[in-house]
Amino acid sequence: MPMLKKIKIKPSFLNPSILLFGTLIVLGSFYRYIRIYPFFNNVQYLPYILEVIIFIFVLLKFKKITNNWDNMDALFSIFILSSSISYLILGIQIGYWNQIEFLLTYILPTFMYYFVKNNNKITFYMIDHLLKIFVIVAFVFLSTEFYTTNYLGVPFFNFAQYWDSTGNIGYHASAVNYLFLGKLNRPWGPMALPQSSGSMFASFFTYFLAKHVYLVPIHKSNKKTFFYLIISFLGTYISGSRTALTTIAVIILILYAKSSFKLIFASVVSVVLLVIFVKFGSQEASVEGFKNVIPETSEGLTIDSIERFFEVIYGQGSPTPNNKVIGTSEIHILNQIFIIGIVSFFILFLIAIKLKGFNKKQKEIYIINNLYSRAFTIYILSSAIGSLHYDVIFRYPNNNIILIMIGYISREFMKVNKYRLPVAITT
């Protein structure tokens, strides 16, 4: 390995745009916990307000964005256009306010990509620190919820009561058989869904692990790295999500596949995780439940009219009491195809392919920013695996985190390949 010179770059967190960006991320670690209290109920609108301000920032930089236009920018623009057309059609059919969730979930957050892509002040150092703050705060709230609910008998964060007040009467806590702890109620977590929260913590675990794997040739890992690995794994475990544990097992095998010894070690670790997976059990996730996945999926995918068939092309929109969407409760990634439409989903698929291409081309370029990009890619891959069962990719705050990472990867790839930057280390 060549010796590389380290360049220290201090983050400018007090910059207005950076402060906005950081607030939006850190807020996601706890805002669903405080919004359940009536006094703080209006805080649920704050992320969307911040995303609107991000959108305004992007509009103000429109000229700069078009000057640095590349294929990834074009794909995101096509996605926004396609989703916007879907929203217009859905608005005509079932009402624009009825589909406001579609606008706020799939269109508005996308501008975060352009915000990061065209802001050189947003460094890896800054993103990494925000993610560390996020995972610590999220874990504190998650563990507090878990402990107070199961051991003190005090519903300090009464999500069930909150969901009932919003009309979602089916959202109630589920119990699982925790290895070593016994049968306990799962916490809702920062994503307000145990499965989604667990997969997000699993993504954080794989991110910190990837950082360790990719950067260890450059500098030794320190105790802080293992600290974040531990709390990320504990967050995954506490969530009671088996999909999250499976995600970690898969990523460990991917990261350590090159070395025979490491592969054996990784395989043993993965088996242990899968044993924990088997021990996790509940009435909702029993053997019989797994047997019903295929028939329930087939039933959910039934298209009962030609009109519904054409709706699949542009999307059926967010599910509401008056808008039943084709799909299945067990395989969420299929739900997304029908919600946003085949066209928009195909564009997302192309974005994923493009991202894979970035990662492949950067493997031979020994610049530390590219190694950081690969760690981000692992996070995104983990979230995608988690989304096979429950929504992880499109749910705030993880949607913004993923868009931030893609924006950073795209920007650094453009710098290296377009401007042929010299090899250097920036932190």
Q: For 151-193, where are the alpha helices, taking DSSP H only?
A: 159-165
For 287-301, how does the pLDDT look when each residue is reduced to its tens digit (9 = 90+)? Answer: 444 444 444 444 444
Spatial separation of the C-alpha atoms in residues 115 and 57, rounded to whole Å? 7
- What are phi and psi for residue 122, nearest 5 degrees? -85, 95
Note the pLDDT of residue 221. Answer: 58
**Omega before 190 within 30 of 0, i.e. cis:** no
Q: Which residues does residue 6 pair with via DSSP β-bridges, in sequence order? A: 425
Give, for 46, the enclosing helix (H) or strand (E): helix 46-60
- Asked if 405 contacts 379 with a C-beta cutoff of 8 angstroms, the reply is yes
For 370-423, how does the pLDDT look when each residue is reduced to its tens digit (9 = 90+)? Answer: 778 888 999 999 999 888 878 899 999 999 999 999 999 988 887 766 554 444
Determine, yes or no, domain membership for 175: yes
Question: In the chain, how many domains are there?
Answer: 1
Category of 189 on φ-ψ map: left (φ > 0), alpha (ψ -120 to 50) or beta: left
- Asked if 153 contacts 161 with a C-beta cutoff of 8 angstroms, the reply is no
- Asked if 25 contacts 400 with a C-beta cutoff of 8 angstroms, the reply is yes
Determine, yes or no, domain membership for 89: yes
Category of 137 on φ-ψ map: left (φ > 0), alpha (ψ -120 to 50) or beta: alpha
- Compute the mean pLDDT over every residue in the chain, rounded to the nearest whole number: 78
What letter represents residue 14's amino acid? Answer: L
For 35-58, how does the pLDDT look when each residue is reduced to its tens digit (9 = 90+)? Answer: 888 888 788 899 999 999 999 999
Category of 30 on φ-ψ map: left (φ > 0), alpha (ψ -120 to 50) or beta: alpha
Domain that holds residue 68: 12-426
Q: Tell me the pTM.
A: 0.85
Determine, yes or no, domain membership for 5: no
Determine, yes or no, domain membership for 45: yes
